[in-house]
Structure 1
Amino acid sequence: MKKPINIPYFKLLLIIIMGAIMVSCSKDDDAEVINDTVPGVASLVLPEKNTECEVGAVVANMAEVAFEWSEASDAERYDLVITNLVTQEVTQRPNLNTTSLVVRLERGNPYTWKVISKNDGEETTASESYRFYVAGVPGSNNVPFPATLVSPASGVMVSPVDGKVTLQWDAASTDTDGDPLTYTLYADTVDGDQEPPEEWTGLTETSIEIEVEPNSIYYWHVETTDGKNTAISNTFSFRTGENTSSIQGEVVSTSQEILDAIAAAMPGENIYIRGGEYTFDSTIKINTSGSASNMISLLAHPEDDSRPKFDFSSMSENSSNRGIELEASYWHIKGIDVFKAGDNGMLITGNNNIIEFSTFSECSDTGLQLDNGAANNTILNCDSFFNADSSLENADGFAAKLEVGTGNKFIGCRAWRNLDDGWDGYLRNNDNVTTTYENCWAIENGYLKDGSPSGGDGNGFKTGGSDNKDLKHDAIYMNCLAVGNASDGFDHNSNRGEVTLYNCSAYDNGRNYAFGNTNPLEKLTIKNSNVLGEVGSIDATTLDVTNNSWMDGIETTFEDFESIDYEELTGPRKEDGSLPDVSFFHLTPSSDLIDKGVDVGLPFNGSAPDLGAFEY
Structure 2
Amino acid sequence: MKNIKLFALLFLSPFSPVLASVYYVAVNGDNANTGSIGKPFATIQKAQEMVSPGDTVYIRGGIYRMSETRIAKKERLFASVTYLDKSGLPGKRINYWAYQDEKPVFDYADVKPANYRVIAFNVYGSFIHIKGLEVIGVQVTIKNHTQSECFENHGSDNIYEMLSMHDGMAIGFYLLSGSNNLVLNCDAYRNFDNFSENGRGGNTDGFGCHPSQGSKGNIFRGCRAWFNSDDGYDVINSHESTTFENCWAFYNGFSSDFKSAGDGNGFKGGGYGKRPADEIPVPVPRTTVRFCLAVHNKASGFYSNHHINGSDWFNNTAYRNGINFNMLNRLKDNITDVPGYDHKMRNNLGYKGGKEVQNLDAARCDLSHNYFDMNLQATDDDFLSLDETQLTAPRQADGSLPNISLMKLKPQSKFVDKGIDIGYPYKGLAPDLGCFELGNASK
Q: Into which bin does the TM-score normalised by the smaller protein fall? A: 0.7 to 0.9
* Distance in 2 separating the partners of 1:370 and 1:518: 24
**Given that residues 523 and 541 in structure 1 are in contact (C-alpha distance below 8 angstroms), is that contact kept between their aligned partners in structure 2?**
no
Partner of 1:457: 263
Per-residue deviation, 1:602: 1.0
Output the amino acid matched with 1:270. Answer: T
Which residues of 2 match residues 342-357 of structure 1 at below 5 A?
Answer: 342=139, 343-357=148-162
| Residue 416 (str. 1) matches residue 226 (str. 2) | yes
Partner of 2:97: 299
Per-residue deviation, 1:465: 1.0
Per-residue deviation, 1:264: 2.1
1:406-461 alpha-carbon deviations (Å, 9 max, x no partner) = 2110000000000000011110xx63x1100110000010011333221x010001
**Given that residues 307 and 328 in structure 2 are in contact (C-alpha distance below 8 angstroms), is that contact kept between their aligned partners in structure 1?**
no
Which residues of 2 match residues 512-527 of structure 1 at below 5 A?
Answer: 512-516=324-328, 518-519=330-331, 523-527=342-346
* Distance in 1 separating the partners of 2:329 and 2:172: 31
Partner of 1:324: 121
Partner of 2:164: 359
**Given that residues 334 and 355 in structure 1 are in contact (C-alpha distance below 8 angstroms), is that contact kept between their aligned partners in structure 2?**
yes
Query: Could you say which structure has the larger radius of gyration?
Result: 1
Partner of 2:236: 426
* Distance in 2 separating the partners of 1:310 and 1:375: 27
Match of 2:249 among 442, 461, 466: 442
Partner of 2:134: 337
Partner of 2:210: 401
Identity of paired residues, percent? 35
Match of 1:480 among 286, 292, 299: 292
Partner of 1:381: 185
**Given that residues 425 and 473 in structure 1 are in contact (C-alpha distance below 8 angstroms), is that contact kept between their aligned partners in structure 2?**
no
* Distance in 1 separating the partners of 2:104 and 2:247: 24
Partner of 2:323: 511
Match of 1:253 among 11, 26, 29: 26
Match of 1:287 among 68, 71, 85: 85
Q: Which stretches of structure 1, 4 residues or more, deviate above 6 A after TM superposition?
A: none
**Given that residues 367 and 373 in structure 2 are in contact (C-alpha distance below 8 angstroms), is that contact kept between their aligned partners in structure 1?**
no
| Residue 565 (str. 1) matches residue 387 (str. 2) | yes
Per-residue deviation, 1:320: 2.5
* Distance in 2 separating the partners of 1:297 and 1:607: 43
SS of residue paired to 1:260 = helix
- Tell me the TM-score normalized by structure 1: 0.57
**Given that residues 44 and 82 in structure 2 are in contact (C-alpha distance below 8 angstroms), is that contact kept between their aligned partners in structure 1?**
no
Q: Number of aligned pairs?
A: 363
Output the amino acid matched with 1:587. Answer: L
SS of residue paired to 1:474 = coil
**Given that residues 464 and 495 in structure 1 are in contact (C-alpha distance below 8 angstroms), is that contact kept between their aligned partners in structure 2?**
yes
Match of 1:536 among 346, 357, 371: 357
* Distance in 2 separating the partners of 1:553 and 1:539: 16
SS of residue paired to 2:130 = strand
* Distance in 1 separating the partners of 2:392 and 2:245: 17
Question: Which range is displaced more, 350-359 or 249-258?
Answer: 249-258
Question: Which range is displaced more, 401-410 or 591-600?
Answer: 401-410
Once superposed, what is the RMSD of the aligned Cα atoms?
A: 1.9
Output the amino acid matched with 2:316. Answer: C
1:213-272 alpha-carbon deviations (Å, 9 max, x no partner) = xxxxxxxxxxxxxxxxxxxxxxxxxxxxxxxxxx97222213624321123221110011
Partner of 1:610: 432
Question: Which range is displaced more, 309-318 or 413-422?
Answer: 309-318
* Distance in 1 separating the partners of 2:362 and 2:125: 38
* Distance in 1 separating the partners of 2:287 and 2:384: 30
1:13-70 alpha-carbon deviations (Å, 9 max, x no partner) = xxxxxxxxxxxxxxxxxxxxxxxxxxxxxxxxxxxxxxxxxxxxxxxxxxxxxxxxxx
**Given that residues 517 and 539 in structure 1 are in contact (C-alpha distance below 8 angstroms), is that contact kept between their aligned partners in structure 2?**
no
1:265–1:450 CA distance, 2 compared to 1 (3 A): farther
1:183-225 alpha-carbon deviations (Å, 9 max, x no partner) = xxxxxxxxxxxxxxxxxxxxxxxxxxxxxxxxxxxxxxxxxxx
* Distance in 1 separating the partners of 2:397 and 2:373: 39
Partner of 1:370: 175
**Given that residues 163 and 187 in structure 2 are in contact (C-alpha distance below 8 angstroms), is that contact kept between their aligned partners in structure 1?**
yes
Per-residue deviation, 1:473: 3.6
SS of residue paired to 2:421 = coil
**Given that residues 349 and 374 in structure 1 are in contact (C-alpha distance below 8 angstroms), is that contact kept between their aligned partners in structure 2?**
yes
* Distance in 1 separating the partners of 2:416 and 2:429: 9
Unaligned runs of at least 5 residues, structure 1: 1-246
Partner of 1:116: none
Per-residue deviation, 1:540: 7.2
1:348–1:437 CA distance, 2 compared to 1 (3 A): same
* Distance in 1 separating the partners of 2:329 and 2:135: 40
SS of residue paired to 1:259 = helix
Q: Pick 1 or 2: higher relative contact order, CA cutoff 8 A, min separation 6.
A: 2
* Distance in 1 separating the partners of 2:90 and 2:171: 28
Partner of 1:243: none
1:104-163 alpha-carbon deviations (Å, 9 max, x no partner) = xxxxxxxxxxxxxxxxxxxxxxxxxxxxxxxxxxxxxxxxxxxxxxxxxxxxxxxxxxxx
SS of residue paired to 1:452 = coil
* Distance in 2 separating the partners of 1:523 and 1:579: 31
1:517–1:346 CA distance, 2 compared to 1 (3 A): closer
| Residue 496 (str. 1) matches residue 308 (str. 2) | yes
